[in-house]
Chain A
Amino acid sequence: MSTVASSNPITVTINGTVYEREVEARKLLIHFIRDDLDLTGSHIGCDTGNCGACSVLVNGTLLKSCMMLAVQADGATIETVEGLADGDELTTLQQAFSDHHALQCGYCTPGMLMSATALLRSNPSPTDEEIKKGLQGNICRCTGYWNIIDAVRAASGQGAK
Chain B
Amino acid sequence: MTPPSGSTTVVPERVEIQAPKEQYKGQSVPRKEDRRLVQGEGVFVDDVKRHGMGYIFFVRSPYAHAHITSIDVSKAEALNGVYGTLTGEEVASLTDPFFQIASVPGGKIKDYALAVGKVRYVGEAVVAVVAETRELARDASELVEIEYDPLDAVTDARHAQEPSKPVLHEEAGGNLMWEGVYEWGDLDAAFAEADKIVKIDELHFHRFNSTPLETDGALVEFNRGIGQWTIHTNNQFPGFAAIMMGPALRTGIDRLRFVTQDIGGGFGNKITTHPQLVACCLLARKLNRPVQWTEWRTDFHMSMSHGNERWFHDTEVAVKADGTLLGFRTKALDDAGAWLRYEPLGGVIWAQVTPGMYRWRHIRLEFTQVATNKAPVSPNRGYSRMQHLWFTERVIDIVAHELDLDPIEVRKRNYIRADEMPYETPNGCVYDSGDYARMLDVATELIGWDGLAARRKDAESRGKLLGAGIGSTLDSGTNNFAQSRMINPELQFSGNNEVATVKLDIFGEIVVTLGTTPQGQGHETTAAQVVADILACSVDDVHVRAGHDSYWNSHAGFSGTYASQFAVTGLSAVKGATDMLAEQIKRLASAVFGGVPLEALELAEGTVRIKENPEAALPFMACGAIINANNAGLPEDLDVTLNCRYVYRPPFELPDIERKFGNLTLTYASQVHAAVIEIDPETGYYEIVDYAAVDDCGKRINPQIVEGQVMGATAQALGGVMHEIFEYDEDGNLLTPNFYDYHVPHALDMPPLKTGNVESPSPFTPLGTKGMGEGGGAGIHAVCAAIQDALRGHGDAIVWDSSNPYRRVWEMLAQPEQAGGRVEVVEA
Contact = CB atoms under 8 A, between A and B. Distances in A.
A136 B35 contact: no
B39 A103 contact: no
A118 B81 CA distance: 40
Nearest to A27: B135
Given A40-B40, A106-B37, A144-B715, A46 B265 contact: no
Contact of B80 (A3, A85, A108, A136): A3
Interface stretch (B43-51, B500-508, B569-577, B650-658): B43-51
A44 B750 CA distance: 23
B40 A80 contact: yes
B39 A41 contact: yes
A149 B39 contact: no
Interface in B503-524: 519-522
Interface string A129-150: 0011101101111111111110
A5 interface: yes
B262 interface: yes
A64 interface: no
A47 B79 contact: no
Interface string B689-713: 0000000000000001101110110
B35 A98 contact: yes
Interface in A106-161: 106-110, 113, 131-133, 135-136, 138-149
A27 B49 CA distance: 18
B728 interface: no
Contact of A107 (B41, B264, B740, B746): B264
Given A98-B31, A104-B522, A107-B265, A38 B49 contact: yes
B704 A101 contact: yes
A136 B747 contact: yes
Given A104-B520, A106-B33, A106-B264, A50 B739 contact: yes
A3 B520 contact: no
A47 B298 contact: yes
Nearest to A91: B38
A45 B297 contact: yes
B46 A139 contact: no
Interface residues of B, number: 67
B213 A53 contact: yes
Interface string B739-754: 1100011111010010
A51 interface: yes
A18 interface: no
A81 interface: yes
Interface string B199-220: 0000000000011111100000
Contacts of A97: 34, 38
A30 to B, nearest CB: 11
Interface string B24-68: 000010110111111111111011010000000000000000000
A90 B746 contact: no
Given A51-B213, A104-B520, A43 B739 contact: no
A82 interface: yes
Contacts of B42: 106-107
A65 interface: no
A126 to B, nearest CB: 12
B134 interface: yes
A34 interface: yes
A146 B711 contact: yes
Nearest to B704: A101
B446 interface: no
Contacts of B38: 81, 85, 90, 94, 97-98, 103, 106, 109, 113
A103 B519 CA distance: 11
B584 interface: no
A3 B142 CA distance: 13
Contact of B297 (A47, A90, A132): A47
B708 A143 contact: yes
A99 interface: yes
Interface string A23-49: 010110001001100111111111110
B738 interface: yes
A25 to B, nearest CB: 10
A51 B743 CA distance: 11
Contacts of A136: 746-748
24 contacts: A24-B133, A24-B135, A41-B40, A43-B44, A44-B46, A47-B296, A50-B739, A90-B39, A98-B34, A105-B263, A106-B33, A106-B34, A106-B262, A107-B44, A138-B746, A141-B211, A141-B213, A143-B708, A143-B711, A144-B711, A144-B715, A144-B753, A146-B750, A147-B708
Given A103-B34, A133-B747, 12 more contacts: A35-B134, A40-B46, A43-B264, A46-B739, A53-B213, A97-B38, A103-B520, A105-B214, A106-B262, A141-B212, A144-B715, A148-B747
Q: Sort A-B residue pairs by CB-CB distance and give the 6 closest, nearest first.
A: A41-B40, A144-B715, A107-B264, A106-B37, A105-B520, A104-B520
